[in-house]
């Protein structure tokens, strides 16, 4: 599910739950009205989905094989075996709607934590002072910082441990070793790096389909976070292409200072976080 720009997760959750309630009510219709009410409900659900989502995932779920069977053979089905096909489809759609609402609700915890949200990209992790050494609050002039690490970035760093460049592979291993002691807490909630700075892993929801362009995927995840927390976040990246595309999509994108860039030729060290 990819929400349209300007649509919030909380707004979407409300619509999904309302449609689920209407599906339950549709199942309770008089038998003579089941087909009519079902078709009307599908039309309303499709209209809502197309206004909320930028992809067709929910519409595809709505137009299930049973849906098309009902549209083609609804009256004959009712006469032959009774209204069970309508009941089953209403129940299945209600289940899918509530699952989608729950999946979005699981991310609402992001809105409950205080702090400036910084979404890290692979470039920042790989080519700048290690994330646990950067003085994030001072660099961004805020009292509290929440570093958000999209799962796609973690996967990219992991993949770079197999890079043909020994320096790049060592850099990736250094980052991953620094993450190892934080990863569980950062996935389940927030891991403390130092006072006022935490790390969180932004997981992918079940069934999430990534784009083939990794930069685009990171930007999409940042957009999603904004839709969940309902405030601006900052993507931290020195990748010029990502910065241009991010700004074009209305995201704040900012690189770390050039003084914090670390050439790959320097030997990697794994030490305690800076105080």
- Between 122 and 69, residue with greater pLDDT: 122
pLDDT at 83 over 90: no
Q: Which two tokens stand for residue 225?
A: 């976070």
pLDDT at 138 over 80: yes
Model-level pTM?
A: 0.86
Place of tokens 């030490």: 271
Range with the poorest average pLDDT among 21-35, 99-113, 134-148: 21-35
Confidence tier at 266 by pLDDT (50, 70, 90): low
**Residue 48 CA, distance from chain mean position:** 20
* Average pLDDT taken over every residue of the chain: 90
pLDDT value of position 270:
46
Burial state string for 129-157 with b = 16 or more CB within 10 A and e = fewer than 16: bbbbbbebbeeeeeeebbbbbbbbbbebb
Q: Which two tokens stand for residue 216?
A: 């685009």
Question: How far is the C-alpha of 239 from the C-alpha of 153, rounded, in Å?
Answer: 14
Question: How far is the C-alpha of 274 from the C-alpha of 193, rounded, in Å?
Answer: 9
pLDDT value of position 249:
92
pLDDT at 110 over 50: yes
């Amino acid at each position: 599910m990819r929400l349209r720009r300007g649509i919030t997760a909380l707004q979407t959750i409300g619509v999904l739950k309302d449609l689920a309630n209407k599906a339950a009510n549709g199942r309770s219709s008089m038998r003579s009205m089941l087909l009519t009410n079902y078709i009307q409900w599908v039309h309303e659900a499709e209209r809502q989905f197309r206004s909320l989502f930028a992809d067709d995932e929910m519409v595809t779920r709505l137009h299930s094989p049973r849906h098309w069977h009902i549209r083609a053979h609804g009256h004959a089905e009712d006469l032959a075996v009774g209204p069970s096909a309508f009941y089953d489809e209403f129940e299945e759609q209600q289940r899918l709607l509530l699952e989608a609402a729950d999946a979005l609700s699981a991310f609402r915890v992001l809105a409950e934590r205080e702090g400036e949200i910084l979404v890290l990209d692979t470039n920042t992790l790989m080519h700048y002072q290690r994330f646990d050494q950067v003085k994030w609050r001072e660099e961004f002039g805020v009292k509290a910082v929440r570093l958000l690490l999209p799962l796609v970035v973690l996967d990219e760093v992991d993949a770079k441990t197999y890079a043909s460049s020994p320096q790049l592979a060592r850099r990736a291993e250094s980052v991953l070793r620094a993450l190892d002691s934080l990863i569980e807490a950062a996935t389940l909630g927030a891991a403390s790096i130092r006072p006022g700075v935490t790390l969180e892993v932004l997981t992918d929801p079940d069934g999430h389909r990534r784009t083939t362009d990794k930069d685009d995927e990171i930007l999409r995840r940042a957009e999603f976070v904004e839709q969940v927390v309902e405030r601006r976040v900052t993507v931290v990246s020195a990748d010029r292409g990502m910065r241009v595309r991010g700004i074009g999509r209305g995201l704040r994108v900012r690189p770390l200072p050039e003084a914090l860039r670390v050439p790959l030729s320097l030997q990697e060290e794994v030490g305690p976080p800076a105080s």
